[in-house]
A and B are shown apart, each in its own frame.
Chain A
Amino acid sequence: METMSNFLRGIYIIWFRDLLRFWRNKTRVVTGFSFPVIWLLIFGNGISASLSLPVPNFKFVQFLFPGAIAQYLIFNAMFSAISILQDREFGFLKEVLVSPINRTAIAVGKILGGATTATIQSLPVFILGPLIGVTLTFKMIILLVPAMFMLSLVLSSIGVAVTSRMKSLDAGQYVFQFIAFPIVMLSGAIFPLHNLPIWLDILTKINPITYAVDILRRIVFENLNLPSQVIITLSPTINGKVISVGYELIIITVFTAILVVLASRAFKNA
């Protein structure tokens, strides 16, 4: 019992510090909130002017909306893990590592901290979406928030698993771009994942983020009375069959669990 409460205390304190730093850092809050504005307003409107989907009454911004949320979360959740490298560089990590806190708790706390701040930062999309013509219902929002948190959780665990093994802030920033971009591109957040060349198709399917993005999209589309044809063409398939949300959740959970183990190991050797 004693060790369990120690473990939870460790997670809580590491998580809480991330939130404290987030609120303290006003520029991060403001720039964080402004990104979805830029993305949806400019890219959303710009691209829907030149493209349209072959479905009546279905605007391109609507297609783009879940993808935009996903893309935004990808950058925020993964980049929040960069703070581990800042802590290594500026010394605070030593304060944590010399304390009697369980190493797994450090990794889990860090992952939860990144996921929480990324989710909070993305909340303005719910105000912004309707302004540019996205149909949003209350039910969608209730379902989207936990789904967004779950996506952030996978992303944040990728971030922590990678940065906990890195030496310096400089290296981290370069490698991160290298990892984050393919993950965004291959997740279905930017273009629909059907009729792809086989090699691209395989890459999108081994990208766990694909399934988390698909859950976001289904929440938005299934509550819109769209022809089921649309959802099927957009969702990932195996042998022509659409993967169910249940399976998607299992894939995401297993993947996150593996990353938590990898990240904790990195802290043990620190």
Chain B
Amino acid sequence: MNAIEAKNLTKKFNGFIAVDNISFSVGKGEFFGFVGPNGAGKTTTINMLATLLTPTKGKVIVNGFDAVTQRDQVRSSIGLIFQDPSLDVELTAWENLWLHAKLYGVENNLFKKRAKELLDLVELTDRKESIVKTFSGGMKRRLEIVRGLLHHPKALFLDEPTIGLDPQTRALIWRYLKDFRAREDVTILLTTHYLPETENCDNVAIIEKGKIIGYGTPETLKKKYKQDSMDAVFIEATGHGIRDEELSVEAQSRVNFKQGGGIWRR
């Protein structure tokens, strides 16, 4: 059975088609990369997989559960790392992890053992009692990865995990992710537009204007587009134009409330 199965997935926002009838599957334990220019529909797709958005059409099965009708089961079985930070910066790193463990019903002794192990792996052990406000962007991201893995998810979703980080930190994050996968056979799906990073993926899907326009291993994609790097493949596949930033979920839902402004959510 595949870890993720998406069939004819479509999402419209007020007539604007963000994701247009895409289908794909990700095998258990696979490292899957979703790449595409800004605004292509990557975040929208990941939000539908993670139960945060309801698809307009189509079906998503994550770890054997339906992302619309079995939301809680899907939520328990995945770890999610958002594009924007979602830590409580007033609390310590350890408190953030503890809250997460409680939210997911992780038993206390298990939590302590797991948290120590994971903090060790991302080299944050000596900062675990620090208030998160004092962390750098890279440290916050590492802590979020620890948090996302704390409840032993079967699949980990990361939306632009390396965005805004320096090359050293980006390399470090990739190393951690590869380590985790080697250790526990977790399925990893991430979106990125740092193309060289996708060389590390088992399979890559190139998404453009809400459609998947290329799919395969980095090797087959390079052959198909007759290029020697993923960067070149990407530009060959999606063209040279500059794109606007994809709307965040909040922004998208704002579009839903009759054009921006205003006070009330619905």
Measured CB to CB, the residues of A under 8 A from B are 6, 9-10, 12-13, 16-17, 20-21, 24-25, 88, 90-101, 165-168, 171, 175, 266, 269-270
A92 and B265 contact, CB distance less than 8 A: no
B265 and A165 contact, CB distance less than 8 A: yes
Give the distance to chain B from A253, nearest Cβ to Cβ, in Å.
Answer: 27
Nearest residue in A to B74 (C-beta to C-beta)?
A: A100
B265 and A94 contact, CB distance less than 8 A: no
B76 and A92 contact, CB distance less than 8 A: no
Nearest residue in A to B52 (C-beta to C-beta)?
A: A98
The CA of A100 and the CA of B91, in the complex, are separated in Å by 22
Residues of chain B contacted by A100 (CB below 8 angstroms): 72-73, 75-76, 103-105
Residues of chain B contacted by A10 (CB below 8 angstroms): 103
Nearest residue in B to A87 (C-beta to C-beta)?
A: B88
B86 at the interface (CB under 8 A from A): yes
- With A24-B91, A98-B75 known as contacts, the answer to whether A17 contacts B263 (CB < 8 A) is no
Residues of chain B contacted by A98 (CB below 8 angstroms): 50-52, 75, 80
Contact with B265, one of A16, A95, A99, A166 (Cβ below 8 angstroms): A166
Having A9-B102, A167-B254, one finds 14 other A-B pairs with CB under 8 Å, namely A13-B102, A17-B91, A20-B95, A21-B90, A88-B250, A90-B89, A91-B85, A92-B87, A97-B52, A98-B50, A100-B75, A100-B76, A165-B266, A269-B265
Residues of chain A contacted by B76 (CB below 8 angstroms): 100
Chain B 76-113, CB-CB to A under 8 Å as 1, else 0, gives 10001010111111110001000110111100000000
A–B Cβ pairs within 8 angstroms, 24 of them: A6-B105, A9-B105, A13-B102, A16-B102, A17-B99, A20-B95, A21-B91, A24-B90, A24-B131, A25-B90, A94-B52, A95-B103, A97-B52, A98-B51, A98-B52, A99-B104, A100-B75, A100-B105, A165-B265, A166-B265, A167-B263, A171-B262, A175-B263, A266-B265
The 8 closest A-B pairs by CB, nearest first: A91-B86, A99-B103, A171-B263, A13-B102, A100-B75, A100-B72, A95-B86, A100-B76
Residues of chain A contacted by B262 (CB below 8 angstroms): 167, 171
Nearest residue in B to A91 (C-beta to C-beta)?
A: B86
B263 and A166 contact, CB distance less than 8 A: yes
Chain B 39-63, CB-CB to A under 8 Å as 1, else 0, gives 0000000000011100000000000
Residues of chain B contacted by A97 (CB below 8 angstroms): 52
Residues of chain B contacted by A21 (CB below 8 angstroms): 88, 90-91
Give the distance to chain B from A23, nearest Cβ to Cβ, in Å.
Answer: 11
Residues of chain A contacted by B105 (CB below 8 angstroms): 6, 9, 100
Contact with B264, one of A16, A20, A165, A270 (Cβ below 8 angstroms): A165
B88 and A17 contact, CB distance less than 8 A: yes
Dominant SS among interface residues on chain B: loop
The CA of A266 and the CA of B85, in the complex, are separated in Å by 23
The CA of A94 and the CA of B88, in the complex, are separated in Å by 11
Give the distance to chain B from A198, nearest Cβ to Cβ, in Å.
Answer: 32
The CA of A76 and the CA of B53, in the complex, are separated in Å by 34
The CA of A20 and the CA of B95, in the complex, are separated in Å by 9
The CA of A165 and the CA of B265, in the complex, are separated in Å by 5
Residues of chain A contacted by B90 (CB below 8 angstroms): 21, 24-25
The CA of A20 and the CA of B80, in the complex, are separated in Å by 24
The CA of A13 and the CA of B265, in the complex, are separated in Å by 25
Residues of chain A contacted by B250 (CB below 8 angstroms): 88, 167
The CA of A86 and the CA of B147, in the complex, are separated in Å by 21
The CA of A97 and the CA of B163, in the complex, are separated in Å by 23
Contact with A167, one of B52, B87, B100, B264 (Cβ below 8 angstroms): B264
Residues of chain A contacted by B131 (CB below 8 angstroms): 24
The CA of A203 and the CA of B131, in the complex, are separated in Å by 46
B84 and A91 contact, CB distance less than 8 A: yes
The CA of A21 and the CA of B263, in the complex, are separated in Å by 26
The CA of A226 and the CA of B72, in the complex, are separated in Å by 57
Give the distance to chain A from B198, nearest Cβ to Cβ, in Å.
Answer: 25
- With A17-B99, A98-B50, A166-B264 known as contacts, the answer to whether A92 contacts B104 (CB < 8 A) is no
Task: Give the residue among A9, A10, A91, A165 with the most B Cβ atoms within 10 A.
Answer: A91
Residues of chain B contacted by A95 (CB below 8 angstroms): 86-88, 100, 103, 147
